A and B are shown apart, each in its own frame.
Chain A
């Protein structure tokens, strides 16, 4: 697959632009500041790992970056589009067009073939059946699962399921691949496969944000952002 540059963006506008993002749960005595003034900019084509211990706020950050949750304060622009004031329906469209999710627990739809799972983002986008099928097959082929298209998720190994999930994230040509502990449920061999795949995608020019708590997984990324208590404690580049 050739390097891909979405029409909406240029190479100057960051894919993710977070300014003073704060997320507060509860109020008064029970108030918890999960995120406390996060400023983060991620450029197009970057491969960023967000690290942190549990409770550091990395999941909250993932939800906000993934347009699944709104921040309490601050501004977030995704691919140049401010999404602070979007309603639920508009957020659905943003998620569908701009973000490809990869989850720790794969999150394929059960009793639905790999091909149908990969097609799903295109279904919700309203792409015609024939084109949808072609693109889904291409995406599955690119993750090396062309021969497993008609298998149900429970007929696939964990590593294969995660590759289907990667294909699903890719198929809609999003601006951002957002992976939440993508190797958390995988054995070491599958972990290697999936990380290699992510590396290939990065080489093709995709922007990847990966949340993890494992140093050796984060080592694959070009940039590592570490969160502690809802603040960025470290932001460094790995030497290639």
Chain B
């Protein structure tokens, strides 16, 4: 009695009742496929969000004016502005060796118009170093220059979303757009960065700081300072350098009454990844439950099969099948159900993960494919062993008498 023979007998048993076998496999199939697909969606979301944050530059820190907590701010006695001098002070080779550049940023929410089409966006007033710090390479035309800033020129560089909304297919270079009633000449465009569905990195309009302050926002506090660290590894060091310089300049005595906050992209990525990781595990756990339910389905069907085929078991025993042969036969039936179900589940999952769901392109986690398949096979073994053992332990005379 070799293994191939036992497998053949097992396969015959499965083929004898195709509908029932198919439905049992479906349970495992759905379990395996959902584990793989849900893990892939979680992973895909993580990859997408990480990419969208990385498109802003992983080595940048954003110093923001004020705090998110409104009531703490209202009780403050001193609430100093974030100034261009602050930005200049941050570039200090001795106190802040990890800071490469610091770029002041103001934003003005405006409506821009061009020949009848209009689009609501925010105009960013900044320095030329912005393009490098924010990882925004120039596509066509030129970036802003120091000259533009010094002379408060009405030059503007547009992102692809704004261009699409205002110009359509028209070449925007050298055209004049009016933002907040101020005419600007388009001098350059920023290469498409891609939208991740969470934030649109292409929805930008960049103009000289001096121009935006004089025409649109006034000379209040900066909205933020974009700080570029020498690399993403040194961004944490740069963060503490920036904090200590600004604390000194703003006379901050404790963390609680700090009038600015520093956003570290690298830290943000790891936080986001952790969060999505938790959701992925959660999704996987739900899917794993369906795999378990599929496994119980195998036990159920195998128990029915054993009861139904009690007489057959009796015959086999009478003509000399050993306990181990009967055990193996039914175990293999259970395993074949789970292996085929799991295999089709893997194939289906591989197909399903090619579809983009809710802007998330699923990214398959290889370990989930192997894991789900191995688990489905083990489930066959585990959940099949009880019915198989029951079949093998039947006494031949009683099994033969069974109607």
Which residues of A are interface residues toward B (Cβ below 8 A)?
Answer: 63, 66, 68-69, 88-89, 92-93, 95-97, 101, 103, 107-112, 120-121, 123-126, 168, 172
Known: A92-B323, A111-B12, A126-B2. 12 other contacts (CB 8 A): A63-B397, A68-B400, A95-B319, A96-B319, A96-B321, A97-B320, A101-B319, A109-B312, A109-B316, A111-B16, A121-B319, A124-B325
Which residues of B are interface residues toward A (Cβ below 8 A)?
Answer: 1-2, 5, 9, 12, 16, 311-312, 314-325, 396-397, 400
From residue B58, how far is it (CB to closest CB) to chain A in Å?
Answer: 64
Q: Is the CB of B320 within 8 A of A124?
A: yes
Q: Is the CB of A89 within 8 A of B1?
A: no
Contact A68 to B320, CB < 8 A, known contacts A112-B12, A126-B1: no
From residue B396, how far is it (CB to closest CB) to chain A in Å?
Answer: 5
> What CA separation (Å) do A101 and B5 show in the bound complex?
22
- Contacting residue for B5 out of A63, A108, A123, CB 8 A: A123
Determine the residue in chain A with the shortest Cβ distance to B399: A68
Contact A66 to B318, CB < 8 A, known contacts A110-B312, A124-B1: yes
> What CA separation (Å) do A124 and B322 show in the bound complex?
8
> What CA separation (Å) do A225 and B400 show in the bound complex?
25
Q: List 29 A-B contacts (CB under 8 A).
A: A63-B397, A68-B318, A68-B396, A68-B397, A69-B397, A89-B322, A89-B324, A92-B317, A92-B321, A92-B323, A93-B320, A93-B322, A95-B317, A95-B318, A96-B319, A97-B320, A101-B319, A103-B400, A107-B318, A109-B312, A110-B16, A111-B12, A111-B16, A120-B316, A120-B319, A124-B316, A124-B320, A168-B319, A172-B320
Q: Is the CB of A92 within 8 A of B400?
A: no
> What CA separation (Å) do A91 and B256 show in the bound complex?
84
Set of chain B residues within 8 Å of A68, measured between Cβ atoms: 318, 396-397, 400
From residue A112, how far is it (CB to closest CB) to chain B in Å?
Answer: 7
Q: Is the CB of B320 within 8 A of A96?
A: yes
Determine the residue in chain A with the shortest Cβ distance to B401: A59
Q: Is the CB of B400 within 8 A of A107?
A: yes
From residue B376, how far is it (CB to closest CB) to chain A in Å?
Answer: 27
Of B2, B9, B322, B324, chain A has the most CB atoms within 10 Å of the CB of: B322
> What CA separation (Å) do A191 and B184 show in the bound complex?
109
Set of chain A residues within 8 Å of B315, measured between Cβ atoms: 107-109
> What CA separation (Å) do A24 and B284 show in the bound complex?
58
List 10 tightest A-B contacts by C-beta distance, closest first: A96-B320, A92-B322, A124-B320, A111-B16, A107-B315, A121-B319, A95-B320, A68-B397, A124-B321, A68-B396
Determine the residue in chain A with the shortest Cβ distance to B320: A96
From residue A238, how far is it (CB to closest CB) to chain B in Å?
Answer: 29
Set of chain A residues within 8 Å of B318, measured between Cβ atoms: 66, 68, 95, 101, 107
From residue A119, how far is it (CB to closest CB) to chain B in Å?
Answer: 10
Set of chain B residues within 8 Å of A89, measured between Cβ atoms: 322-324
Of A68, A92, A108, A172, chain B has the most CB atoms within 10 Å of the CB of: A92
> What CA separation (Å) do A112 and B8 show in the bound complex?
12
> What CA separation (Å) do A110 and B311 show in the bound complex?
10
From residue B4, how far is it (CB to closest CB) to chain A in Å?
Answer: 9
Of B1, B317, B319, B325, chain A has the most CB atoms within 10 Å of the CB of: B319
> What CA separation (Å) do A107 and B172 show in the bound complex?
88
Of A97, A111, A124, A126, chain B has the most CB atoms within 10 Å of the CB of: A124
Set of chain B residues within 8 Å of A108, measured between Cβ atoms: 315
Set of chain A residues within 8 Å of B312, measured between Cβ atoms: 109-110
